[in-house]
Amino acid sequence: MNHQQNKPDQAKIAALQQAYKSALLSVDKARAEKILRDASVMFASPLEVAELCLAPVLEQMGEAWENGHLALSQIYMASRISEELMERILPPFQEMRGEAPRIALMLLEDHHMLGKRLVQSALRLAGIPVLDWQRVTVEELIARAIRERPDLILISTLMLRAALHVRDVRKGLDSAGLAIPIYVGGAPFRLDPLLWQEVGASAMGANATEAIRLVLGFLEHRHAVR
């Protein structure tokens, strides 16, 4: 079967997202899993299912929470269910070792890790493993960067307030004398195309595919200047 030829149109994707959102709001893990498994035959890869179905739904729910239309408990349960389901279909992650560039990936002060997980898996599939710093606060990120000195920091966010904290990360790193580039991603940066510049990031990736392109560009530049 040629999955690319059978890729659903926007109407079908929207219907899929609505069905998945309904399952999450009902905390119906079995129905959510069935929706994803049925959807998998329509897409080219599990990563595409995640990018076109799971990530947009969680972003919509995050925006609804920020506007007071959903409870934090609903966001938490939706995130836990989605992360558990994606753990079953996305390839496992292995950290980079040896003298390779140290690329650190993390979620900054947010409530779910799906976006980070998508980027992590996409980079691994591209042969670019990263160091997984999980979920961190601004203070934890700065302290760990001072200790471990990564070559590149990748930050995932879902909520606007978390995205704005990237500015504090940049200031903290600068104060410590660390000119480590910061690449950011997540819904707030897609909604405001200039936000990444305003918070002092070096670049922004709208999705996992762009994250690959940005990191490859960083590695190529790093190799060229050596």
CATH code where residue 85 lies: 1.10.1240.10
Where is average pLDDT lowest: 13-27, 100-114, 155-169? 100-114
Residue 42 is predicted with a pLDDT of: 82
For residue range 101-126, what is the model confidence (pLDDT) as tens digits?
Answer: 899 999 998 766 777 877 887 787 67
Burial class of residue 107, CB neighbours in 10 A (0-12, 13-18, 19+): buried
- Regarding predicted confidence, which is higher, 45 or 139? 139
75: its two tokens: 């966001």
What is the C-alpha separation between 88 and 15, in angstroms, rounded?
Answer: 23
Same domain, 153 and 194: yes
More confident residue, 27 or 124: 27
Q: How far is CA 40 from CA 43, 47, 79, 164, in A?
A: 6, 10, 19, 35
Q: Assign residue 127 a region: left if phi > 0, alpha if psi is -120 to 50, beta otherwise?
A: left
Q: Kindly give, in sequence order, each residue whose CB lies less than 8 Å from that of residue 2, ignoring residues fewer than 6 positions away.
A: none
**pTM (2 d.p.):** 0.69
82 lies in the same domain as 160: no
Contact indicator for 120, 50 with CB cutoff of 8 Å:
no
Asked if residue 21 belongs to a domain, the reply is yes
pLDDT tens, 51-71? 788 778 877 887 787 678 988
Average pLDDT score over the chain: 84
Indicate if the pLDDT at residue 97 is higher than 50: no
168 and 83 in a common domain:
no
Domain that holds residue 127: 103-225
Is position 3 within any domain?
no
Q: Does residue 159 sit within a domain? A: yes
Residues belonging to the chain: 226
Question: What does the block give as tokens for 19?
Answer: 């069905």
Residues 6+ apart with CB under 8 A from 166: 108, 155, 157, 182, 184, 196, 199, 200, 201
pLDDT of 36 higher than 50: yes
Out of 89, 122, 147, a domain closes at 89
Residues 152, 116 share a domain: yes
Confidence of residue 91 (pLDDT cuts 50, 70, 90): low
CATH number at residue 203: 3.40.50.280
pLDDT of 139 strictly over 50:
yes
Domain boundary residue, one of 89, 114, 134: 89
Residues 115 and 218 placed together within one structural domain of the fold: yes
Reported confidence tier of residue 98, pLDDT bands at 50, 70, 90: very low
Q: Which of 38, 61, 89 is the last residue of a domain?
A: 89
Answer whether residue 94 is part of any domain.
no
15: pLDDT strictly greater than 50: yes
What is the total count of domains within the chain?
A: 2
Q: Which residue has the tokens 């506007």?
A: 67
Q: Are residues 84 and 122 in the same domain?
A: no
| Same domain, residue pair 69 and 125 | no
The CA distance from 23 to 46, in Å, is 19
